[in-house]
Structure 1
Amino acid sequence: MDPLKEMFNKKFYQHFATGFASADKNFNKEAFVKDVTENMEGLSLNGRLRNTAIVLKKYLPANYQQSVEIMFRAAPLLNTGYTALVLPDFVALYGKDHFDLSMEALKHFTAFGSSEFAIREFLKTDLVKTLAVLNEWAEDKSQHVRRLASEGSRPRLPWSFKLEQIIKNPTLTTGILEKLKADEELYVKKSVANHLNDISKDNTAYMLQLVKSWDKNNPHTSWIIKHAIRTLIKKGDKDSLAIFNFEKNVKVRLDKLKLSAAVIRLGEALQFEFQLTSEKNTPQKLVIDYAIHYSKSSGELSKKVFKLKEITLLPGQQVQIIKKQLFRDLTTRKHYKGKHLIEIIVNGKVLGSKTFSLVL
């Protein structure tokens, strides 16, 4: 059972229906709750989200504009967060023939949850027209709207379909990114960095050329660039390392890599420590990462890289590093018993590894 789907449970629907009943005196609260919960047990999280929008249409006016007006009144009365995506999903399903009104609705609803998935349906239908709107939104006073401009047009947004035209031609979103490259809001900066990281997976040279033209002296721009190139840095991409003057030809020795235990139980933390020694006669600017190769249900290993720290190592200098990694199940990761591997990575180069076992 997917625990996340329980965000859409009977208690939620009762609250949801109460909000709509307050916004529309003709809304049949009891009938809606009965209808929307009738067959929800077999539905996934996104299945429940979509079903809510479909059932909601049956209880709102047939006229799309009137329905949107009711949703505008209801939105402040509903829960915020993921469940608020019902409103943008309604717009994506039923608003294609009402472009201007739908854009106004998505802009408004994004502050309650996010319209990032819904806007992609309009990008798929009319890319040029929708991108023109997103370019305007990139200069909006609301951080939610600015973030939507970047997040909604990401080439490879997780949990959504790829935007193949943008993957083929990443310059289509350059105007949006240029307007947001020095945004002060972390919520927006994360999206811009993730958008650039998406681009790097298909158009590495273009993405690097773009960020190299930006002013790294601006702290907000610098933050965005550093997070945008994180995947390339982890792979040891020399052009990415050069952007922030990280050492391209690392000469560092790894010593005394130790694990706190050879076997750990689920719910416990594994402590690891190691020593790095510079073997170069000039300072080396380093990005130190570590990777865990998790055992999958098949027994194969799946690699996940984690950021550890950035340091400048002087000639002959030694540094001791200690870190703990907690092993517990998350909604995004389930652990399996068996052999695991930990690697120490410096500027994308694996310097050493150790194995350990996880028991449940």
Structure 2
Amino acid sequence: MSEAFSLRDHLFNAATLGQLAEEFAVGVPGFDAERFLATVLPQLPELGLLHRLEALADGIEAQLAGDFPTMADQLTAAMPPPLDPALRDDDFGRFIHAVPGILAVRHGLEDHRDRALDLLYAATQRFSMEFYIRPFLNRWPEETMAQLALWAEDDNYHVRRLVSEGTRARLPWARAITLDPLAPLPLLDRLHADPARYVTRSVANHMNDIAKLAPEVVIARLAAWRAEARQTPKELTWITRHALRTLIKQGHPGALELLGYRADAPVTAQLSLAAQRIARGDPLEFDVSLTAPEDVPVLVDYVISFRKADGRLAPKVFKLKQAALSAGAPLTLRKRHRLKWDATTFRLFPGGQRLGLQVNGRLVAEAEFTLLD
């Protein structure tokens, strides 16, 4: 049997740490690569991913100058070449190069803010500093936001992406920030027109975060961006869909209208189940038929309301079809949904469940089914 893939072992191992040690040995006179490896490698098996980053930083810091300005110069000297500026997406960098960000927060946050921000600027061109800009936003919100406003105009797209990604209110894995979630909107006004998908994806994810808190603000902003026409229509359509994905699942009328889907579209629906009693291991199968008296675009989702341990039903939305209905011409769809009894993040419970069909955010048909244990 093959061993399960381990992300932390893939990212942090003798080969990757050896490369990091070599970079510091070349960039910092007197840096002892063997000492670094002998200190850090034995610690790795007992540490999780983020704690391994801290161990790397500890091992590097032990051989650097004690004063932060000199340390920052050493960290800069040991950096590899910047990530390829010709790329436009999916170039996050390598986790081993997070060390400058960790040490910038440890030693530059309080007394060397400007030098620390300069270090983050250089480092984010090698590995995203989205985690490490956040302590500066908490400690120095006005000064850091002023710096980010300048970075939003930078030539390097990694720097521009940091402006959006680092200020996200709900950035995964990251520490919380006290910044008003709406405060970055002027920065997103600039960045939504960026030519790099790496940047615009961050903008869209950021707007999706804000939409969970202030949906009307996001819808109005996206409409304003459309009116300004500074981004290409194709890319702005992609940004808009990605930014509104949570609201679309919720059937938010304003979000659907912005995408061209009428909540009151005159659609008639029929929903039929292949079986109303489903045994463990069998899929949920159903057929859908949609008709309309006029041509109308439709966004079709299905909603399964799963029974929880306490008997409540909890709805979960799934995508089914994006299409254009022609007047009087039926659209027929068939779906086979695998029911994952053994999923690690969601447990199924036997008993009555509900399937709903949602068209342009409006529930148009329902059916009941039972899961048999």
Query: TM class, shorter-chain normalised?
Result: 0.7 to 0.9
Q: How far apart are residue 194 of structure 1 and its match?
A: 0.9
Counterpart for residue 227 of structure 1: 242
Is 1:136 aligned to 2:150, yes or no? yes
**Residues 272-308 of structure 1, C-alpha deviations (whole Å, 9 max, x = no match):** 5533312x42333222234567899999987654444
Structure 1 distance, partners of 2:155, 2:305, is 43
Alpha-carbon offset, residue 45 of structure 1: 1.1
Matched, 1:28 2:32: yes
Q: 1:273 to 1:75 in 2, by over 3 A?
A: farther
Task: Please state how far the C-alpha of 1:43 moved relative to its aligned partner.
Answer: 2.0
Q: Is the 8 A contact 2:271 2:286 kept in 1?
A: no
User: Match for 1:98 among 112, 119, 126?
Assistant: 112
- Give the secondary structure class of the aligned counterpart of 2:226: coil
Verify: 1:118 aligned to 2:132, yes or no.
yes
Please tell me whether residue 64 in structure 1 is matched to residue 77 in structure 2. no
| Identical aligned residues as a percent | 29
What is the CA-CA distance between 1:258 and the residue it aligns to?
4.4
5+ residue gaps, structure 2, are: 83-91
1:268-347, aligned counterparts within 5 Å? Answer: 272=285, 274-278=287-291, 280-290=292-302, 305-322=317-334, 344-347=357-360
8 Å contact from structure 1 (residues 277, 319) kept in 2: yes
* 2:184 corresponds to: 173
For the residue of structure 2 that corresponds to 1:254, the secondary structure is: strand
Relative to structure 1, the CA distance from residue 31 to residue 290 in structure 2 (aligned partners, 3 Å threshold; closer, same or farther) is farther
Aligned to 1:86: 99
Between the aligned partners of 1:358 and 1:49, the Cα distance in structure 2 is: 46
Distance in 2 between residues matched to 1:89 and 1:230, nearest whole Å: 33
Conserved? CA contact 2:263–2:362, under 8 Å:
no
CA distance in 1 between counterparts of 2:63 and 2:313 reads: 49
**Pairing partner for 2:204 from 170, 181, 193:** 193
C-alpha deviation, 1:116, in angstroms = 0.6
Where does the alignment leave 5 or more consecutive residues of structure 1 unmatched? none
Q: In the aligned structure 2, how far is the partner of 1:249 from the partner of 1:308?
A: 19
Q: Is the 8 A contact 2:263 2:361 kept in 1?
A: no
Structure 1 residues 336 and 238, CA gap change in structure 2 (3 angstroms):
closer
| CA 1:54–1:295: 2 relative to 1, 3 Å | farther
Shift of residue 92, structure 1, vs aligned partner: 2.1
**Which residue is equivalent to 1:252?**
268
Q: Quick one: distance in 1 between partners of 2:16 and 2:307?
A: 37
Number of residues of Structure 1 aligned to a counterpart in Structure 2: 351
Q: Distance in 2 between matches of 1:4 and 1:294?
A: 32
Q: Matched residues in 2 for 1:294 and 1:9: separation?
A: 42
Q: Is the 8 A contact 1:19 1:77 kept in 2?
A: no
Show CA shifts across 1:113-147 (max 9, x none).
21111011110111111111111111222221111
2:218 aligns with: 207
Match in the other structure for 1:41: 45
Cross-structure match for 2:255: 240
Of the three residues 147, 162, 179, the one matched with 1:148 is: 162
SS at 2:45's partner residue?
Answer: coil
Q: Distance in 1 between matches of 2:360 and 2:171?
A: 27
CA change 1:355–1:120 in 2 (3 A) is farther
Structure 1: which amino acid aligns with 2:167? S
Give the Cα separation in 1 of the matches to 2:209 and 2:288.
34
- Determine if contact 1:295/1:335 at 8 Å carries over to the other structure: no
Decide whether aligned partners of structure 1 residues 195 and 59 sit closer, same or farther in structure 2, where only a CA change above 3 A counts: same
Distance 1:138 1:306, change over 3 A: farther
Where 2:46 maps in the other structure, the secondary structure is coil
Q: CA deviation at 1:81?
A: 2.5
Task: For residue 263 of structure 1, report the CA deviation from its aligned partner.
Answer: 5.5
Q: Secondary structure at the match of 1:214?
A: helix
Q: Which structure has the greater CA radius of gyration? A: 2
What TM-score do the two structures reach when normalised by structure 1? 0.82
Aligned counterpart, 2:85: none
Q: Is 2:8 the counterpart of 1:5?
A: yes
Distance in 1 separating the partners of 2:264 and 2:185: 32
Residue 33 of structure 1, CA deviation: 1.6
Question: What TM-score, normalized by structure 2, do the two folds share?
Answer: 0.80
RMSD over aligned CA atoms reads 3.6
The alpha-carbon distance between structure 1 residues 5 and 133, as it changes in their structure 2 partners (threshold 3 A), is same
1:323 CA drift (Å): 5.4
Residues 295 and 336 of structure 1 are in contact (CA less than 8 Å); yes or no, is this contact kept in structure 2?
no
1:164 aligns with 2:167: no
